[in-house]
Structure 1
Amino acid sequence: MKELLYRLFEHQYLDREEARMVLTNMAEGRYNDAQIAAFVTVYLMRSITVDELIGFREALLQMRVPVSLSEYNPIDIVGTGGDNHNTFNISTLSCFVVAGAGYKVAKHGNYGATSVSGASNVMEQHGVKFTRDNDLLRRSIEETNMAYLHAPFFNLALKTVAPVRKALQVRSFFNVLGPLVNPIQPKRNMLGVFNLKMARLYYYMYQQENVDFSIVHSLDGYDEISLTSDFKVIDKNGEKMYTPELLHFERVSQAALDGGKTPEDAARIFDNVLQNKATLAQKNVVVINAAFAIRTINPELSLEECIDQAKNSIESGAALNTLKKFIALNS
């Protein structure tokens, strides 16, 4: 590791095989926390290359716990995190809204590293017990349209680096890797990114893989459609800029999306949204993200139809019922 760190500090790059080797060694516990922290910090000072990203990803996928839900062709809705906005759990809420609308979802998530509450935090707040049992995951997606895959259960490297990521409290290349290493490798993805450079990198990756995808980025730096600014959506057909007003939504303030100071705060907002008791800003942000996820699944639908399906999932109680059934089965 020492030689690699010297090279990286001198602004050199890893090739694909070197990147794969580093992540494999990390998972096997061959580096101490200080070395891991130094390695992670390099990627705060420069961007990750395509070869490095591919190598890191190959290592994680080779070591993953196998699980298969491919016959359900589910979608994963995820943000990279690391946008330093501490929003409430918009992506996870969107998953339940999409599931409530009748679509299959396989959410890959983790504890928050740069925010108060990641997907796994809010799941635990609701009493959910994480599992790698393939039969239970299949039953969950079959009966509730929703399966949750807690990332450290499926990849040792993510578990190994978790304490370092939490201690650093800054984004790292693991934020970039997370959406690419869902162990089921879904063929449908909606991904939120914190900058346009990341969007281009993911676009390159997805183009190689014959998947249906939407990459979203709000221009004021959110890794989701925040409705606080104009936003860009990139999919197979290219990229398009939207304004909230174009889609008949009011712009919202950044303060309106705050996730609170504790996981308990975030869980209360989570419940309020699904109970249709949230503020209009909170509800609308979830609706628009869920709508673009539905559009990723059904590109033949108009955005208006997708927005209506997402709204109805909340207002009819379908999304809340999905959460209740999911908790009952997974706790």
Structure 2
Amino acid sequence: MIREIIKKLSFGNNLTFEESQKIVESIEKDEITEAQLGGILVSLRTKGETPEELAGFISALHSRAKRVPNKSPAIDVCGTGGDHSNTFNISTGVAIVLASMGIPVAKHGNRAASSKSGSIDVVEALNLKFHSEPEKTAEEIDSKGISFIFAPYYHPVVGKAGKVRKELGIGTIFNLSGPMLNPANLKAQILGVYSSSVLKKLAECAKILGRDNILFYHGKDDGIDEISLSGVTEMAWVKGNSIDYFTFHPSDIGLPTYPPEEFKGGDPKENAEILLNIFKGKGTPAQTDIIALNSAFGLYILGNVKNVREGFDKIKEHILEGKVYKFLESLREAT
């Protein structure tokens, strides 16, 4: 079967949902060589992964993940990375803000790949813990309101492909799949991507998989995998059996724009310091506003506010009153 898949890809043909699933199955059962896997990954990247290929691959990986049995359905805030913008860890900040408002959060993430600081790196710099045991992670979501899910602990099949991926040194279908592999019980996701084409592919993929209430976004003008305050953000909201494509500009809700340099970050320690300042109400206007804006869209897709502006005002006040910092301190004390 694997040789047939390689032959099909060598002619530039697309794979079926089932063939894409078979690749994952073969990795799990050690029925594929490193050379074969490398060839498949490069061929898919060169051809361009289709939504159906992505859906089959994600379906197979997700079904083999260690499940997190949280009783309270949670929201996830994550991104594909790969935008090379070197922003501070915005999605991690948003996750903590939403949790501080009583919304269960299952923050799926990893260490840095294309940036200086991945979400797990900054979590460690903030002196927060994460667990390899699904039950402990679920208990934290249900009792503390947030837990951080270190992807390699929960996706053993992905780990088996690690050597090949590292030797290739390029983004592959694994990178595109990552943000959609959260093993927790979710009710919503806000998910940033690094390009317009990936936004459309993942939205179509989510629809094929029957996923509900996922907001994908990409900063069109500055290229970031966040909801931008520097220009237009392209969005795709997957809900029910439909996809709503639209754009957002800060001026739509009366917000100013800021130059991209305002959101630059550094290493995990520097990014943790930026987040701490924001949570203490001492962040720059740009830093505080981008955290509040991205958090506001989380509230909006959950139906907790009537519009994004209402959510933005509510969250900014919450931040400036020091309530997020107080919540963070309670998390640190608990660990």
- TM-score class, shorter-chain normalisation, is 0.7 to 0.9
Aligned pairs for 1:1-331 (under 5 A) are: 4-29=5-30, 31=32, 36-69=37-70, 71-162=71-162, 164-165=164-165, 170-208=170-208, 209=210, 211-220=212-221, 221-235=223-237, 236=239, 238-260=244-266, 262-298=267-303, 300-329=305-334, 331=335
Identical aligned residues as a percent: 28
- Which has the higher relative contact order, 1 or 2, with Cα contacts under 8 A spaced 6 or more apart? 1
**Is the partner of 1:137 in helix, strand or coil?**
helix
Gaps of 5+ in 2: none
Paired letter, 1:238: D
C-alpha distance in structure 2 between counterparts of 1:217 and 1:56, whole Å: 23
Instruction: State the AA in 2 paired with 1:239.
Output: Y
Mapped partners of 1:87, 1:162: distance in 2: 26
What's the TM-score once normalised by structure 1's chain length? Answer: 0.88
Shift of 1:90: 0.8
Provide Cα deviations, 1:273-316, integer angstroms capped at 9, x if missing partner. 22232222222111110110111111652222210222133212
Which stretch shows the higher mean deviation, 155-164 or 79-88?
155-164
Q: Distance in 1 between matches of 2:289 and 2:309?
A: 13
> CA 1:321/1:27 → structure 2, altered by over 3 Å: closer, same or farther?
farther
**Residues 246 and 42 (structure 1), Cα distance of their counterparts in 2 relative to 1, 3 Å cut:** same
Q: 1:35 to 1:114 in 2, by over 3 A?
A: farther
Distance 1:256 1:29, change over 3 A: farther
- Deviates further, 191-200 or 144-153: 191-200
In structure 2, relative to structure 1, the CA distance for the partners of 1:187 and 1:12 (3 Å cut) is same
Q: Is the 8 A contact 1:113 1:170 kept in 2?
A: no
Instruction: Give the Cα–Cα distance (whole angstroms) in 2 for the partners of residues 308 and 276 of structure 1.
Output: 14
CA contact (8 A) 1:151 1:158 kept: no
- Judged with a 3 Å threshold, the aligned counterparts in structure 2 of structure 1 residues 270 and 10 are, in CA distance, closer, same or farther, namely farther
Q: CA deviation at 1:225?
A: 0.8
In structure 2, give the amino acid aligned to 1:227: L
| Distance 1:118-1:34 versus aligned 2 partners, 3 A rule | farther
The structure-2 alpha-carbon separation of the partners of 1:210 and 1:163, relative to structure 1 and needing over 3 Å to count, comes to closer
The aligned amino acid for 2:248 is Y
CA distance in 1 between partners of 2:43 and 2:57 (Å):
15
CA distance in 2, matches of 1:126, 1:104: 19
Q: Give me the whole-angstrom Cα distance separating, in 2, the residues matched to 1:50 and 1:161.
A: 21
RMSD (CA atoms): 2.5
Deviations 1:163-196 (A, max 9, x none): 5545655433223211221112512111112223
Evaluate the alpha carbon distance shift between residue 273 and residue 47 of structure 1 in structure 2; reply closer, same or farther with a 3 A threshold. Answer: farther
CA contact (8 A) 2:299 2:305 kept: no
* Contact 2:138-2:147 within 8 A present in 1 as well: yes
Relative to structure 1, the CA distance from residue 270 to residue 157 in structure 2 (aligned partners, 3 Å threshold; closer, same or farther) is farther
Q: Measured at CA, do residues 161 and 150 of structure 1 come closer, stay the same or move farther in structure 2, by a change above 3 Å? A: same
Question: Residues of 1 paired with 2:277 and 2:164: CA distance?
Answer: 33
Contact 2:131 2:149 survives alignment (8 Å): yes
- CA-CA distance at 1:212 after TM superposition: 1.9
Q: Tell me: CA distance 1:264–1:210, structure 2 relative to 1, closer, same or farther (3 Å).
A: closer
Aligned to 1:187, the other structure's residue is in SS state strand
Structure-2 change in CA distance of 1:324 and 1:43 (3 Å) = farther
The count of corresponding residues between Structure 1 and Structure 2 is 328
User: How many Å apart are 1:75 and its aligned residue?
Assistant: 0.7
8 A contact 2:88–2:263 mirrored in 1? yes
Deviation at 1:2, TM superposition (A): 6.1
Residues 197 and 72 (structure 1 numbering): CA distance in 2 closer, same or farther, change over 3 Å? same
Q: Within 2, Cα distance between the matches of 1:164 and 1:117?
A: 23
Offset, 1:3: 5.9
